């Protein structure tokens, strides 16, 4: 013990000296020279770190957190040198938060947020995660949810970033609700007197919602259904809920809010230089439930949005599939239709609520759609987000790959025969249809000009007096036809460039002259057989090259691995049932409820003489009749119900 005290004092002196110099290497050298035993040295350094922290806190009583951040950073480096326990940085942070005011805690918590990557390292994560969670919970207990809302949100966001999605401590596995969140409402004389001055000016307004006690009672009674949605599956409670919801939504629809586009001249401009009660605006997470305030609350667009969003969340839960939801918790067809109609009404009210109502409604719709994916993930048991590993034994033997030719050799061979290699089978085939681009442009397939006889066929017939076509209906008088005819004559007819003695006065007259010349040439051209130009046949090397390239490209594609076989589930044996019945004989009713048994079925189980027989009968029937009855599913349910003793018996 005396040796520990000596080491503790010496290491405290070393820390105070080398912390100011930020020299970890020299501190490590002195510590190793002082004590060669790792375990004794590490314990003494841990205690010395706490002792030195008191001195640092005393020196920084003014409120500067920079030196505290440097001290924690110095401690992190000691942990990486294996001089201190990996949990020491978070333990020191917990001591610092316990000794400081909330304002300074909020400043220091920025350091914790910025170093989230450090806490997630393999060295610190396993050792620090419980201490970090305890530290954040201690801070949340000190904070006011209504006054320090932003700080509370920062702490929760940090925990969400730090812990993985599949962390059991942050999951509500059995889908339970916070039934302790009660909303109390009612009228008291004292509250009416205190709020008399607040509502004095508002009573004079002409455009307001008529608030009576019935509307007030129905409005706040809905909060109990939002707290525990499973009440809606009860027939009597459903009638109460649907009636109250219809009345409240009708009140919202009868009094529409208008967006405020102008502000009075007496409004106070919020500025950073302001002092007094207007400097900060506080957000209260819980609204007051006094009847006098309901009229003002219904005139607040944010308040309306909160209530309407509660309706949408409740409706989504009622229609969704939840793993631990009882079989009796299912809506009837008429209830499903009412929920669908009311959902459309709620979205309409959200769209009509300023400001930016349509944008807000669309955002809510997208968020709830994404929530369906999280619900499916929860039903699957919250598996970790990891890429599944393939089982080597289940894979089919792969064929040995053929050795690939070097890309340089492939391109060289292609250029030797005047071809292209594009690296893709389809592109290679396309480019090698005609390697010479100029010849491809001159191809007969790309000649889209019609022949003179085809284009002027109707015009030639119109020139025949026997056709008796009026001049204004002839094609030569059409400007579009004439413009195309001139371009075609310039490309096809030798008469277009013959110099005439007379200038062209009108286009129709010129076209008639040219058409007559073309008509005279038609008999001569009809007797002459036109020779067709044949494209030279492609060389045999072209086909061979294309086939070789396509074969090489297809060989580069790897075959997909076979699907992993479905995991086989183990059945529950009679021996397991006997052992579990002895462990669960006092708490089997809660397990029966999770299995989905009704009250009549539970009463049947209770007809047995002893609790052991009752539990055994229930487990035997569940193992024989339930399709999902397996050791894995039973272990998952016991883990969610926190039956650790029964879970240990099952795994043994």
Q: 430 vs 434, 536, 545, CA distance in Å?
A: 8, 18, 13
Q: What is the mean pLDDT of residues 182-191?
A: 64
Confidence of residue 346 (pLDDT cuts 50, 70, 90): very high
Q: Can you read off the two tokens belonging to residue 194?
A: 């205190």
Residues 61-109: tens digit of each pLDDT: 666 788 899 989 989 998 998 889 999 999 999 999 999 999 999 999 9
Q: What percent of the chain has pLDDT over 90?
A: 27
Q: Are 12 and 51 in contact (CB under 8 A)?
A: yes
Q: What is the mean pLDDT of residues 33-59?
A: 83
What's residue 390's pLDDT?
63
How many angstroms separate the CA atoms of 343 and 340, rounded?
A: 5
Does CATH place domain 568-651 in 2.170.190.11?
Answer: no
Lowest mean pLDDT segment, chosen from 133-137, 425-429, 528-532: 528-532
Q: Are 543 and 395 in contact (CB under 8 A)?
A: no
Q: Are 294 and 219 in contact (CB under 8 A)?
A: yes
Q: 129 vs 115, 163, 289, 649, CA distance in Å?
A: 14, 8, 40, 28
What's residue 284's pLDDT?
53
Q: What sign does the dihedral 600-602-605-610 (CA atoms) show?
A: negative
Per-domain boundaries in the chain: 1-167, 213-257+287-380, 408-446, 452-520, 568-651
Confidence of residue 208 (pLDDT cuts 50, 70, 90): low
Q: What is the mean pLDDT of residues 591-619?
A: 84
Give the angle 415-419-422 at the CA atoms, nearest 5°.
95
| Mutual angle of helices 122-142 and 149-162, in 10-degree steps | 160
Q: 491 vs 485, 503, 509, 515, 523, CA distance in Å?
A: 10, 21, 20, 15, 21
Residues 302-339: tens digit of each pLDDT: 999 999 999 999 999 999 988 888 888 999 999 999 99
Give the angle 646-650-652 at the CA atoms, nearest 5°.
115
What's residue 560's pLDDT?
38
What's residue 572's pLDDT?
80
Q: What is the mean pLDDT of residues 453-478?
A: 83
Burial of 437 (0-12, 13-18, 19+ CB in 10 A): exposed
- Mean pLDDT rounded to a whole number for the chain: 79
Lowest mean pLDDT segment, chosen from 351-355, 520-524, 642-646: 520-524
Does the bond joining 565 to the residue before it have cis omega, within 30 degrees of 0? no
What's residue 487's pLDDT?
87
Residues 510-563: tens digit of each pLDDT: 888 888 888 887 654 444 443 444 444 444 444 554 555 445 545 544 433 333
Q: What is the mean pLDDT of residues 473-496?
A: 85
Lowest mean pLDDT segment, chosen from 162-166, 415-419, 559-563, 593-597: 559-563
How many angstroms separate the CA atoms of 579 and 587, rounded?
A: 14
Lowest mean pLDDT segment, chosen from 175-184, 192-201, 337-346, 387-396: 192-201
How many angstroms separate the CA atoms of 580 and 591, rounded?
A: 12
For 54-89, give one letter per residue: b (16+ CB within 10 A) or e.
eebbeebeeeebeebbebbebbbbbbeeebbbbbbb
DSSP-assigned letter for residue 607: T
What's residue 39's pLDDT?
74
What's residue 490's pLDDT?
87
- For residue 489, pLDDT over 80 is answered with yes
Residue (of 295, 536, 560, 322) closest to 436 by Cα position? 536
């Amino acid at each position: 013990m005396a040796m520990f005290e000596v080491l503790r004092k010496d290491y405290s002196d070393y820390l105070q000296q080398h912390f100011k110099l930020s020299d970890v290497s020299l501190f490590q050298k002195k510590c190793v020279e002082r004590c060669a035993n790792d375990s004794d040295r590490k314990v003494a350094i841990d205690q010395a770190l706490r002792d030195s922290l008191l001195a640092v806190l005393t020196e920084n009583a003014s409120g500067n957190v920079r030196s505290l951040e440097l001290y924690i950073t110095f401690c992190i480096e000691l942990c990486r040198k294996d001089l201190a326990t990996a949990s020491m940085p978070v333990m020191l942070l917990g001591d610092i938060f316990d000794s400081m005011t909330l304002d300074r805690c909020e400043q220091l918590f920025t350091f914790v947020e910025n170093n989230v990557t450090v806490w997630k390292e393999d060295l610190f994560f396993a050792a620090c995660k419980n201490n970090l969670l305890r530290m954040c919970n201690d801070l949340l207990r000190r904070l006011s949810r209504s006054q320090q809302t932003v700080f509370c949100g920062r702490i929760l966001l940090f925990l969400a970033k730090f812990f993985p999605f599949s962390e059991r401590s942050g999951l509500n596995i059995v889908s339970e609700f916070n039934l302790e969140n009660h909303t109390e409402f009612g009228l008291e004389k004292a509250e009416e007197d205190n709020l008399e001055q607040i509502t004095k000016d508002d009573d004079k307004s002409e455009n307001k919602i008529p608030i009576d006690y019935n509307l007030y009672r129905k409005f706040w009674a809905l909060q109990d259904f939002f707290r525990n949605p499973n009440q809606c599956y009860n027939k009597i409670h459903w009638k109460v809920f649907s009636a109250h919801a219809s009345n409240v939504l009708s009140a919202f629809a009868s009094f529409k809010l208008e967006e405020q586009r102008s502000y009075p001249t007496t409004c106070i401009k919020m500025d950073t230089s302001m002092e007094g009660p207007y400097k900060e605006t506080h957000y209260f997470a819980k609204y007051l439930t006094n009847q006098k305030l309901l009229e003002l609350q219904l005139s607040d667009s944010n308040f309306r949005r909160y209530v309407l969003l509660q309706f949408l969340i409740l409706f989504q839960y009622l229609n969704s599939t939840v793993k631990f939801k009882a079989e009796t918790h299912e809506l009837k067809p008429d209830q499903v239709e009412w929920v669908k109609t009311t959902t459309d009404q709620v979205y309409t009210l959200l769209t009509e609520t300023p400001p930016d109502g349509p944008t807000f409604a669309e955002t809510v719709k997208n968020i709830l759609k994404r929530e369906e994916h999280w619900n499916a993930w929860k039903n699957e048991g919250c598996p970790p987000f990891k890429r599944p590993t393939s089982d080597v034994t289940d894979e089919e033997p792969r064929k040995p790959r053929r050795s690939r030719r070097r890309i340089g050799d492939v391109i060289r061979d292609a250029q030797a025969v005047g071809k292209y290699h594009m690296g893709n089978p389809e592109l290679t085939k396309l480019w090698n249809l005609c390697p010479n681009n100029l010849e491809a442009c001159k191809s007969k397939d790309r000649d889209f000009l019609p022949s003179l006889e085809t284009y002027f066929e109707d015009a030639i017939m119109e020139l025949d007096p026997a056709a008796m076509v009026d001049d204004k209906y002839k094609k030569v008088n059409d400007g579009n036809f004439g413009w195309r005819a001139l371009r075609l004559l310039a490309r096809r007819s030798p008469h277009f460039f013959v110099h005439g003695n007379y200038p062209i006065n009108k286009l129709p007259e010129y076209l008639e002259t040219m058409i007559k010349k073309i008509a005279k040439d038609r008999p001569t051209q009809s007797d002459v057989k036109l020779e067709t130009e044949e494209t030279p046949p492609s060389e045999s090397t072209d086909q061979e090259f294309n086939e070789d390239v396509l074969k090489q490209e297809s060989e580069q594609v790897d075959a997909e691995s076979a699907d992993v076989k479905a995991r086989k589930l183990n059945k529950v044996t009679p021996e397991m049932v006997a052992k579990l019945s002895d462990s669960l004989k006092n708490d089997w009713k809660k397990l029966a409820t999770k299995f989905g048994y009704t009250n009549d079925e539970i009463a049947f189980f209770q007809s047995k003489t002893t609790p052991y027989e009752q539990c055994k009968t229930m487990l035997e029937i569940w193992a024989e009749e339930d399709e999902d009855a397996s050791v894995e599913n039973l272990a998952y349910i016991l883990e969610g119900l926190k039956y650790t003793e029964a879970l240990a018996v099952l795994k043994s």
